[in-house]
Structure 1
Amino acid sequence: MTHRTLYLVTCGAPLASRIGDGVRAAREQGWDPYVIPTDAALPWLDGQDVDEVPVLTGNRKPGDPKRTPKADAVAVVPATFNTLNAWANGNANTYPLTTLCSALGSRIPAVAVPFAKHDLAGHPAWLASLAVLRYGGVTIIDPHTGSNSSLSPVESGTGEEVSAAFQWDWVIRNLDS
């Protein structure tokens, strides 16, 4: 099995509690995962089995070598309102956003699993950002169903339930298509 490099960007929402499962699912399908959490995602990583993979935070210092091989694909699980909008707008002011913007500009295959409540998903910037990312080739996956043709917001208070039912195969399958 040929190993490919997968950047797993994770944001601060309940689905980040499953990133260890994503690491295992990626490895089973021949990916070498690198976890790139936002600052808000860091608390969600506590107690997860991610010690055997690189977890990259912060930008490199001048003169430091590159920390990862070139990505063959990128998955953003979960993609929060803030990160998704910043990515679509080209804001590369953090390491995770720089990684996402570079991937989009390089046309590296990307999958995003948006995780936003109704009030945030109702903001006009949300639909515009989803459209920009889809135009750029990003596959958007519904966290409830795995659909890549429709997307429903996460009802307030159901984040843990949605996260528990989430299937990482939905992401991995879309990386291979």
Structure 2
Amino acid sequence: MTDRTLYIVVCGAPLASRTADGVKAARANGWDPYVIPTEAAMPWLADQDLGDAPVITGNRTPDEPRRTPPPDAIAVVPMTFNTLNAWANGNAHTYPLTTLCAAIGAQTPTVAVPFAKQDLAGHPAWLASLAVLRYAGISVIDPSSGATNSIDPVASGTGAETAERFDWAWVLGVLNSVGNR
């Protein structure tokens, strides 16, 4: 265990297939990872070896103690169209969204990797929600290139290929630079 806690919020898209790689990379970079999946992400995690990283699902009961230490940083990999818009609008109706909304209020360093097809990214809410999150201080990374200045939608039918090329070093590098400001 380390003294740096990283929440990895996972949404249901092909990049979720690389969550185990993210857990390993986080540990190798001195983070203690906790995986917080959306319901749609659960099938993507079923066959992955997450080691001893806790997977936190659902809200806790009133008599249950806190299940995680406070985060030092958060990575949202991947962030789907649905989560992007709900988060930007402040909708905290699931545990992952509550976690993300609280991160903005607490100014927790957060990196998000949007993963949406062209038809969804063509919706006006896509750009508006990205702008809201950036305004709130969220670092946004392109899943294909690691760029932070522009985000391209994932071409339909290329999700698995994009996930394969994805490099967790992009996320951890941004988190390390943002966390040291």
Q: TM range, normalised to the smaller chain? A: over 0.9
RMSD: 1.0
1:153 counterpart = 2:153? yes
Q: Residues 17-32 of structure 1: matches in 2 within 5 Å?
A: 17-32=17-32
Q: CA deviation at 1:79?
A: 0.1
Report the equivalent of 1:48. 48
For the residues of structure 2 that align with 1:54 and 1:167, how far apart are their CA atoms?
A: 22
For the residues of structure 1 that align with 2:105 and 2:85, how far apart are their CA atoms?
A: 16
Q: CA deviation at 1:47?
A: 1.3
Task: Give structure 2 stretches of 5+ with no counterpart.
Answer: none
Report the equivalent of 2:114. 114
For the residues of structure 2 that align with 1:77 and 1:154, how far apart are their CA atoms?
A: 14
How many residues are matched?
A: 177
CA deviations over 1:5-54 (Å, ceiling 9, x no partner): 00000000000000000000000000000000000000000111114110
SS at 2:6 equivalent:
strand
Report the equivalent of 2:75. 75
SS at 2:35 equivalent:
strand
**Runs (4+) off by over 3 Å:** none
Kindly provide the amino acid, as one letter, of the partner of residue 8 in structure 2.
Answer: L
Report the equivalent of 1:62. 62
For the residues of structure 2 that align with 1:109 and 1:150, how far apart are their CA atoms?
A: 19
CA deviations over 1:40-84 (Å, ceiling 9, x no partner): 000000111114110000000111000000100000000000001
Moved more, 44-53 or 16-25: 44-53
For the residues of structure 1 that align with 2:64 and 2:47, how far apart are their CA atoms?
A: 29
Kindly provide the amino acid, as one letter, of the partner of residue 106 in structure 2.
Answer: S
For the residues of structure 1 that align with 2:39 and 2:95, how far apart are their CA atoms?
A: 10
For the residues of structure 2 that align with 1:105 and 1:75, how far apart are their CA atoms?
A: 16
For the residues of structure 1 that align with 2:157 and 2:82, how far apart are their CA atoms?
A: 19
CA deviations over 1:131-158 (Å, ceiling 9, x no partner): 0000000000000000011110001100
Report the equivalent of 1:138. 138
SS at 1:15 equivalent:
helix
Q: Retained in 1: the 8 A contact 2:72–2:108?
A: yes
Q: CA deviation at 1:3?
A: 3.0
Kindly provide the amino acid, as one letter, of the partner of residue 171 in structure 1.
Answer: V
Task: Give structure 1 stretches of 5+ with no counterpart.
Answer: none
Q: Residues 88-127 of structure 1: matches in 2 within 5 Å?
A: 88-127=88-127
Moved more, 31-40 or 46-55: 46-55
SS at 1:67 equivalent:
coil
Kindly provide the amino acid, as one letter, of the partner of residue 49 in structure 2.
Answer: D
Kindly provide the amino acid, as one letter, of the partner of residue 176 in structure 1.
Answer: N
